[in-house]
Amino acid sequence: MKEFFEIEPAFNPDARVIVCEGDTLTQLRVLPDNAFRLVVSSPPYNLGKAYEKQVRLQTYLDWQTDIIREMQRVTAENGSIIWQVGNFIDKSEVFPLDIYFYPIFKSFGMQLRNRIVWHFNHGLHASNRFSGRYEVLLWFTKTQQYVFNLDPVRVPSKYPGKLHYKGKKAGQPSGNPLGKNPSDYWTLLCHEWDTGLMDIPNVKANHPEKTVHPCQFPVELIERCLLALTHEQDWVLDPFGGRFSEWHAENPPLWEVGSSTYRKRKSRADTTGMAEKRQSAGKSYMKIVAQYDFNGGKSIVEQKYAFELRQIETVVQSIDSACYMTKRSTEKTMMGKMLFAPIEINKAFRREFNKIGWSNYRVVCEYRYGEFLEGYLPSKNISSKPFRDMDFIKPDIKLGVEVQFGKYAFMVYNVCAKMTIFSNMGIIDTGVEIVPVKHFVDRMSTGVSYFEQFAWDLAHRGISNIDIPVLILGIDA
């Protein structure tokens, strides 16, 4: 459930959201010292866009120097500045702005922690040089003591659930169960979250988030910065709020309600209303519309795992299904109709769960061969160790979550076999299965099973003495 706050037009330390329209430097000068845990933005690149007038490069840098001086002043002692920049182009010559900005920040005592490369696969094609496909985020801190939360922004490991196979740690996880450090190279491929990197879609012309702003970048880029560099209830400042990306990342679904507050300001009047347009354009968030109580799972989850259930509900509600209606039907009965891509939806769930500390958990299978009849030699040529995995488990929490947008057999296997196996191994004691309802499935590109069929079969199957409690959630878009 989202909270709504009054948007105030001027600085007020008791406010939750402030939007100031005016000259950036003028507005910065009236802000208090050391007030913001994070200052994050992307300044104009001096390209002569609709919101700026192109000037000589040195004139542009002098103007930015005055702004950076004020940003350093208003940044908290343990705070950070994220400055996302690209290139200034003059007569086909490239001037990499991050190189010009570095000595300016250093002159005010700021310390560079990372030069992050933001790579994307789409953009304008150059005819007299190689096409540009990256920009840079400069992360500066004000002092050597600064906020950095790695766990909320970890990404899936290449081999999640991998265990040490020998030595003193044999059988123990070989990596962090929450995932790996996303590094300083962020690959941005739309809806492909299984590469082991923090994949963030750049906002192209037909992207659901696209507004009239000519230099818009995606919410996910800012969301990572907020999760990593702020605490709940911190103030965040954007001196150039044209796209209002930070506004939409301000209360990530992975945080509790009332998390990092956000103060935005705009430097040009022609961006007015873009946040509202972006908020409503093309959004279709998923929702839980049905529940099936298998073996008492509903009451156990609600009572014993109330916080985890709230996280699960928030994850579901945070996924914009419109982003995954990417398949065009070739069937005669609905030729040309746009359909949901189940595989991409599964990846979206993985992305959101991983952000809040849920990760895939694997157990290695040691197959038995004593059951084969005498005289028969079974194949033992297994290139990699077989395993069973649970989609999402939190450390020290015995609740397993499966997201199933696949065949019917997998739904049954999850509840009637896999969850029992993981329970017998002492890993979980209760399960949650997330599946689509029929109305959702009818708009998917591949034939998957659905909640109504699954619930009917479980009701008529009955309960076995080895079944564990499971709450089955039916979702729609």
Query: In this predicted model, what pLDDT tens digit does every residue of 220-245 receive, in sequence order?
Result: 778 888 889 999 888 899 888 754 44
Torsion angle in degrees (nearest 10) through CA of 190, 310, 360, 423: -150
| CA 108 to each of CA 72, 101, 262, 357: distance values in angstroms, whole numbers, following the listed order | 7, 11, 25, 37
Gap between the Cα atoms of 341 and 352, Å rounded: 17
Give the per-residue pLDDT at 124: 72
Lowest average pLDDT, out of 114-128, 168-182, 236-250, goes to 236-250
Residues composing the chain: 477
| Stretch among 12-16, 159-163, 321-325, 426-430 having the lowest mean pLDDT | 159-163
Cα 299 to Cα 75: distance, rounded to the nearest angstrom: 47
Least confident range from 227-236, 268-277, 300-309, 373-382: namely 268-277
Per-residue pLDDT tens over the stretch 455-467: 999 999 999 999 9
Q: Has residue 383 got a pLDDT over 70? A: no
Beta carbons of 3 and 45 less than 8 angstroms apart? no
Q: What is the pTM of this model?
A: 0.51
CA separation for the pair 301, 297 (Å, rounded): 6
CATH hierarchy code of domain 7-280? 3.40.50.150
The pLDDT of residue 357 is 86
Assess whether pLDDT exceeds 70 at residue 28. Answer: yes
Q: Please, what's the largest Cα pairwise distance for the chain?
A: 87
- pLDDT tens for 328-368 read 877 777 777 888 888 888 888 998 898 888 999 998 888 88
**Coil vs helix vs strand at 168:** coil
Give the per-residue pLDDT at 205: 40
For residue 35, pLDDT beyond 50: yes
Question: Which pairs from 298-306 meet CB under 8 Å and 24+ separation?
Answer: 298/471, 300/430, 300/469, 300/471, 301/399, 301/430, 301/432, 301/469, 301/471, 304/430, 305/397, 305/399, 305/430
Per-residue pLDDT at 256: 25
Binned at pLDDT 50, 70 and 90, residue 41 comes out as confident
Give how far the C-alpha of residue 231 lies from the chain's centroid of Cα atoms, to the nearest Å: 17
Check if CATH label 3.40.91.20 holds for domain 287-476: yes
For the cut 70, the answer to whether the pLDDT of residue 191 exceeds it is: no
Among 53-57, 161-165, 204-208, whose mean pLDDT is lowest?
A: 204-208
Task: Give tens-digit pLDDT for 157-169.
Answer: 777 667 777 788 7
Q: What percent of the chain has pLDDT over 90?
A: 34
pLDDT in tens, 68-92: 999 999 999 999 999 988 888 888 8
Sorted by where each begins, the domain ranges of the chain are: 7-280, 287-476
Q: Express as a percent the part of the chain with pLDDT over 70.
A: 79
Burial 85-111 (b: 16+ CB within 10 A, else e): bbbbbeeeeeeebbebbbebbeebebe
On average, the pLDDT of the chain sits at: 79
